[in-house]
C-alpha cells in the first residue's frame, strides 16, 4: 500500500503507474475525497479548540457566580456540530481506504514500459541441449515410465491435478530437500515450515486480496484461504511487529504446496505439468532495510540461479515490463528454464522487490536504534524454485534416446539412483 501523503505529492507518477500496470484504480476520486477529509479534519480540530475555550469560560463563570445558561447552550450546539462532522468524516474514511488499497506499487525506473512482449532478457546461462533425437514431451515420458499419474489424479480431484508415484514422487521430494539445503547451508536462510492456510488479513498484507480473490481456494466456513505461495504465511510471520535494526536482514526459506484456481487461464498450457491447481514450491523471503533492498534483489536472484546452475539446466532471466508486473511489486525478475521436449522457455521463479508496499499493508516496522523513529521494512521474495516446470526441464533435457532419464548429478545423493527407467 502506498502512503497517502506520497500519492498526494506525486499524483501524476501514481496515475502513470496505474496506467502502465493496467490496473483499475481511481486516483482522482481518492484525491478529491482526501481534500474533503482534510478540510473536515481542520474544521473538527478548530471546533474542538473552540469547545475547549467555551468549557473553560463556563468554569470561570460558574466560579464567579455568573449565569452561564446561554454559554452552556452554545457549548451543546458546538458539541452537536462536532459530532455531525465526525460522523461525516467516518463516512469518507471507508471509501478513501477502499480506493487506496486498489492503487498498485510504483514500478522502479529501470522497469521497461509495456506488456509481456516488452519483457527484456537480462541475462542467460548455459547451453541449450543438443540431443540427436527429439525428446518426448514430459507428459508422455512420465506416463511411459510410470512416474506421474495424470488420469487417476483427475478422477480423484478434477482437471489440473496430478499424482506423482515411484521415482517421480522421490524426485519431487529430492528437489525440495536439495533446494532447502542449498538455501540454508549456502545462502544463509532460516528454514521455516508455515501453515498452509491463511487469514484474510494475511492475504491482504502480501497483496493477493482484494484483487486476486477469485483465483484463490477459500474455506468459506472459516474464511481461510489455501495459500497460493509460501510468500503469504512467511511474510506474515512478522505481521504487526516492530523488528530490531540489528536483526536485519532476516531471510527465510520454506517449502509449501501452493493452491491456485488459475481463474481466467483455461485453455492455456493445459498438458501435463504446465499449469496445475496444486504444486510444490520452495520460497525465499527477505526483510531488509530500505537502503539495501535493491542489492538484496540481485542477491535473491543469484540464490535462485544457483539452484538451476547446480542442476545444470539452461535458463534466461527476464526483467518484467510494467504490464507484466504484479500489483505489489516494484520490480521483478522472472527466471525461465529451457525445456527441450516442448521447445519452450518455462517460468520457474519470480524474484521481486516490494519496497515498503507489503510492510505498510501488514504493519511490519523496525527501529535502527533504541528510541529511533519506526520505519517500514522492505520485503522481497523469490521462488527457489517452483517444482513442476523444473521437473519438466529435467524430464525433457536429461532424456535419453532409450526412453530413460538421467538424474542430475546434484540430485543423485537425494534420490539414491542415477537413472530413471
User: In the annotation, is 389 catalytic?
Assistant: yes
User: In the annotation, is 412 catalytic?
Assistant: no
Name the domain boundary from 67, 100, 133: 100
- Same structural domain for residues 131 and 84? no
- Same structural domain for residues 226 and 96? no
- Same structural domain for residues 59 and 179? no
- Same structural domain for residues 127 and 62? no
pLDDT means per 10 residues, the chain with 421 residues, are: 97 98 97 95 88 82 78 82 90 95 98 98 95 94 96 94 97 98 98 98 96 94 97 98 97 98 64 94 98 98 98 98 97 98 97 98 96 97 98 97 97 98 95
pLDDT of residue 323: 97
Domain count, the chain: 2
Q: What HEC string does the chain produce?
A: CCCHHHHHHCHHHHHHHHHHCCCCCCHHHHHHHHHHHHHHHHHHHHHHHHHHHHHHHHHHHHHCCCCCHHHHHHHHHHHHHHHHHHHHHHHHHHHHHHHHCCCCCCCCCCCCCCCHHHCEEEEEECCCCCCCCCCCCHHHHHHHHCCEEHHHHHHHHCCCCCEECCHHHHHHHHHHHHHHHHHHHCCCCEEECCCCEEEHHHHHHHCCCCCCHHHCCEECCCCEEECCCCHHHHHHHHCCCEEEHHHCCEEEEEEEEEECCCCCCCCCCCCCCCCCCEEEEEEEEEEECHHHHHHHHHHHHHHHHHHHHHHCCCEEEEECCHHHCCCCCCEEEEEEEEECCCCEEEEEEEEEECCCHHHHHHCCEEECCCCCCCEECEEEEEEEEEHHHHHHHHHHHCECCCCCEECCHHHHHHHCCCEEC
- Same structural domain for residues 84 and 148? no
pLDDT tens sequence across 239-291: 999 999 999 999 999 999 999 997 555 556 678 999 999 999 999 999 999 99
Of the candidates 293, 299, 326, 350, the residue annotated as catalytic is 350
Give this prediction's pTM. 0.92
- Same structural domain for residues 203 and 234? yes
- Same structural domain for residues 128 and 79? no
User: In the annotation, is 12 catalytic?
Assistant: no
106, part of any domain: no
- Same structural domain for residues 145 and 211? yes
User: In the annotation, is 88 catalytic?
Assistant: no
Domain that includes residue 62, residue range: 4-100
- Same structural domain for residues 157 and 287? yes
Of the candidates 102, 260, 340, 365, the residue annotated as catalytic is 260
pLDDT mean across residues, the chain: 95
110, part of any domain: no
User: In the annotation, is 260 catalytic?
Assistant: yes
Amino acid at each position: 500500500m502506498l502512503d497517502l501523503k506520497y500519492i498526494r505529492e506525486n499524483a501524476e507518477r501514481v496515475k502513470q503507474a496505474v496506467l502502465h500496470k493496467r490496473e483499475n484504480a481511481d486516483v482522482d476520486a481518492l484525491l478529491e475525497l482526501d481534500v474533503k477529509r482534510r478540510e473536515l479534519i481542520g474544521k473538527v480540530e478548530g471546533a474542538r479548540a473552540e469547545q475547549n475555550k467555551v468549557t473553560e469560560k463556563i468554569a470561570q463563570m460558574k466560579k464567579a457566580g455568573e449565569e452561564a445558561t446561554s454559554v452552556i447552550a452554545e457549548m451543546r450546539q458546538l458539541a452537536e456540530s462536532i459530532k455531525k462532522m465526525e460522523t461525516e468524516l467516518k463516512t469518507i474514511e471507508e471509501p478513501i481506504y477502499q480506493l487506496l488499497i486498489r492503487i498498485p506499487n510504483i514500478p522502479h525506473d529501470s522497469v521497461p514500459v509495456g506488456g509481456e512482449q516488452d519483457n527484456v532478457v537480462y541475462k542467460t546461462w548455459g547451453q541449450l541441449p543438443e540431443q540427436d533425437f527429439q525428446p518426448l514431451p514430459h507428459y508422455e515420458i512420465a506416463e511411459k515410465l510410470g512416474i506421474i499419474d495424470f488420469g487417476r489424479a483427475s478422477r480423484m480431484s478434477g482437471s489440473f491435478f496430478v499424482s506423482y508415484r515411484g521415482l517421480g514422487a522421490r524426485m519431487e521430494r529430492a528437489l525440495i530437500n536439495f533446494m532447502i539445503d542449498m538455501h540454508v547451508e549456502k545462502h544463509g536462510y532460516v528454514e521455516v515450515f508455515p501453515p498452509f492456510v491463511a487469514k484474510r488479513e494475511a492475504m491482504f498484507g502480501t497483496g493477493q486480496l482484494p484483487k486476486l480473490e477469485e483465483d484463490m481456494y477459500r474455506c468459506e466456513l472459516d474464511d481461510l484461504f489455501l495459500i497460493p505461495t509460501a510468500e503469504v504465511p512467511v511474510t506474515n510471520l512478522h505481521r504487526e511487529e516492530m523488528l530490531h535494526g540489528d536483526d536485519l536482514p532476516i531471510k527465510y526459506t520454506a517449502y509449501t504446496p501452493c493452491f491456485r484456481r488459475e481463474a481466467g487461464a483455461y485453455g492455456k498450457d493445459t498438458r501435463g505439468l504446465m499449469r496445475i491447481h496444486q504444486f510444490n514450491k520452495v520460497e525465499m523471503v527477505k526483510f531488509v532495510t530500505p537502503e539495501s533492498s535493491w542489492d538484496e534483489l540481485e542477491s535473491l536472484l543469484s540464490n535462485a540461479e544457483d539452484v538451476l546452475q547446480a542442476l545444470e539446466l539452461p535458463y534466461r532471466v527476464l526483467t518484467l515490463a510494467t504490464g507484466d508486473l504484479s500489483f505489489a511489486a516494484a520490480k521483478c525478475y522472472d527466471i525461465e528454464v529451457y525445456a527441450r521436449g516442448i521447445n519452450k522457455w518455462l517460468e520457474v521463479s519470480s524474484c521481486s522487490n516490494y519496497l515498503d508496499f507489503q510492510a505498510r499493508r501488514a504493519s511490519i516496522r523496525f527501529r535502527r536504534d533504541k528510541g529511533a523513529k519506526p520505519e517500514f521494512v522492505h520485503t522481497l521474495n523469490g521462488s527457489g524454485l517452483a517444482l513442476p516446470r523444473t521437473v519438466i526441464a529435467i524430464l525433457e533435457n536429461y532424456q535419453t534416446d532409450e526412453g530413460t532419464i538421467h538424474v542430475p548429478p546434484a540430485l543423485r545423493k537425494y534420490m539414491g539412483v542415477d537413472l530413471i527407467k
